[in-house]
Structure 1
């Protein structure tokens, strides 16, 4: 952003800054995102989309086939489109959350593991965000509040509760195996 240099100095003693100085000030005001950070955000958004779309499609397709009244008799293609919209909204919200989280990064414990309360709060926030995205998409399709609640509840259960239960069961079985095996000799 170079400005034309005035031919004469003004009476006030103003001097135009050089391009290097202007670039340094611009860098301080608007720091550029590092390339690894962009890659992490992109990968996170793609992972959110790839994980969300099949699960949302399965929930909506099963609801369409088993209980057509919940989806107003929508086709499986419409259910796939709804799942695509929900997954896109969740991927966009993942990008926004990741970028906002970088700016408001809080120092955590030394080991990097979040506390249980913070993890639960984060999980509830993600479930609410999923519900809001699904509710928005389904409301725009003209479904009633009861239908939206049923489909959103099923989607939140599949995307958040089932993985949580599976993880807890795997951790318990791992702890049982460790408790049942003798301690290694040193």
Structure 2
């Protein structure tokens, strides 16, 4: 059963930072990992980690290998399958029926007080432009609920910029739950 998920930030969104999924699987396997499977073209890799390296070390190794072997520089967030399951269990918006209206932003490190402060500043700056959007931070996950659509969300735009005290990468809820299913082997 796969033990980890790697999430690459900002690849395959346009003509730059193109990464073919077969090449990405080869890079991950080249680091000694097994059961390597990718999901869609946005840089989602499910794998069984070799050894007992921490998530940050796995992410660092993947970032370096992707840069060295594929010529693409990108941030990588690595979660254990248990952390992904906890993210799904902790969802503060379980009643949202449309998985495209809920996103999880997985942070490279746990969100501390600085991240909460940054979020408060973003809310204050946007004021009424936030509309019905809601956001909550739980551990290393920012849950972004955009009932009027992610593409229309000023809050989503503000949180998508890699500024502030915590970096991360977002996935819609359909992708989050699919990755968990892949980890569970179903």
- TM-score by structure 1 length? 0.28
User: When you count helix as a share of all residues, which structure comes out higher?
Assistant: 1
Q: Which structure's relative contact order is higher, taking Cα pairs within 8 Å and 6+ residues apart? A: 2
Larger radius of gyration: 1
- TM-score by structure 2 length? 0.28
